[in-house]
Amino acid sequence: MTGSPGPGLGELAAEVARLSDIAALNHLIDRYLAGLDEGLASSASTSASTSAAGSDSGSDSDSDSGSGSDSGSGLGSGPGSGSGFDAVWAASLFTEDVELLFPVGSHQGLTGADGFLREIMERWGRTHHHGSLASVEPDGDLAAVSWSLIASHVHFGSPLPPQPSAYFQIGGRFTGVARRTPDGWRFARLRLRIVWSTGSPPGGVTEVDARTLEAADSRP
């Protein structure tokens, strides 16, 4: 007796390609969330280094040695002029025509996407974005993606752990579309809908963009 024939090489190749796309899309999501936190940390680090360098320069202005003690302000002291967000980072995540629809504003196109996200993130001293297991549905060169999010935002001046932080926290869900490009998968659209929040929002933010809360939206 012979058993039923197994999948052919073509079917196996197609399944391997599908699983490879799913892994790449999950990696894209992970890189995006990690980049928000790491970019802000890099910005704060650059700010602290610049502050320290400026302080050293001022204290040693009459010295030929150029040496002196460090006196940087450190994390959580205020927004910095440096940034971990740049055009190269944005291009590694988004398509040229990307649409970003967030509670505090929206942006269209790759150009300026880095500055748009930088402006949002630099309202905080530190952040921690925690994403759930993602739903990823590749279909040819497009993929629907979605995942739940808990994002914690620490106010400037809040003490470092293990002291309690002053923070603003949200819970919600990202939905979007990714597109295959010559350089790999990129987000073509991302939308964040907030379900709940706790703590104090940053200064100047008194309401959210109502479009992010609409339940009826035909787009994924």
pLDDT in tens, the chain (220 residues): 555 666 688 888 988 999 999 999 999 999 999 999 998 877 655 554 444 445 454 444 343 433 333 333 233 333 333 346 899 999 999 999 999 999 888 999 999 999 999 999 999 999 999 999 999 999 999 999 999 999 999 999 999 999 999 999 999 999 999 999 999 999 999 999 999 999 988 766 666 655 555 433 444 4
Which residues have C-beta within 8 Å of that of residue 165, sequence separation ≥ 6? 126, 154, 155, 158, 159
Q: Is 42 helix (H, G, I), strand (E, B) or coil?
A: helix
Alpha helices in the chain (DSSP H): 9-59, 87-91, 113-121
Burial class (CB in 10 A: 0-12, 13-18, 19+), 178: buried
Alpha helices in 110-177 (DSSP H): 113-121
